[in-house]
Structure 1
Amino acid sequence: MKLVTRFEAASRSTEQLQGLYREAFNAFSVAPRGSQEYRSALQSMRIIEDELATRMPGF
């Protein structure tokens, strides 16, 4: 999975972010633990969560 950057996350709609989060979660769940894909998916989920939290307090 390609890493989702903070800039990319900020430029997406909430619906798009939710879709990206789903993709990142799926990639994370099937990637070998410790692999680059695993780390990218995990970091992408964190970035997306942070962006969603700024839009929806209480996320």
Structure 2
Amino acid sequence: MKLVTRFEAAKLSTVQLYGLRKEAFIAFTAAPRDSEAQRTALASMRHIEDELAARAPALR
């Protein structure tokens, strides 16, 4: 899986981000433990989650 940066995630719709998060999770679980592929998928998931969190309405 190609690394998804926070900048790239910001350009996608919320629906696209949820689909990409699923793909990143599948790539993470399929990759060998402690491999570069697994680290890339994990970093992508973090960037996607950060972008989704930024879009979420604040609870007050």
TM norm structure 1? 0.93
Q: Distance in 1 between matches of 2:48 and 2:57?
A: 14
Confirm whether residue 32 of structure 1 aligns to residue 35 of structure 2: no
Q: Deviations 1:28-57 (Å, cap 9, x if unpaired)?
A: 011001111100000000000000000014
Q: What amino acid is the match of 1:18?
A: Y
List alignment gaps of at least 5 residues for structure 1.
none
Give 2:43's aligned residue.
43
Task: Give the CA RMSD over aligned residues.
Answer: 1.1
| Percent identity for Structure 1 against Structure 2 | 67
After superposition, where does 1:1-59 map in structure 2 within 5 Å?
1-57=1-57
One-letter amino acid of the counterpart of residue 10, structure 2? A
Find the aligned partners of 1:33 and 1:57 in 2 and give their Cα distance. Answer: 35
Larger radius of gyration: 2
**Corresponding pairs, count:** 58
* 1:5 partner letter: T
Matched residue SS, 1:12: coil
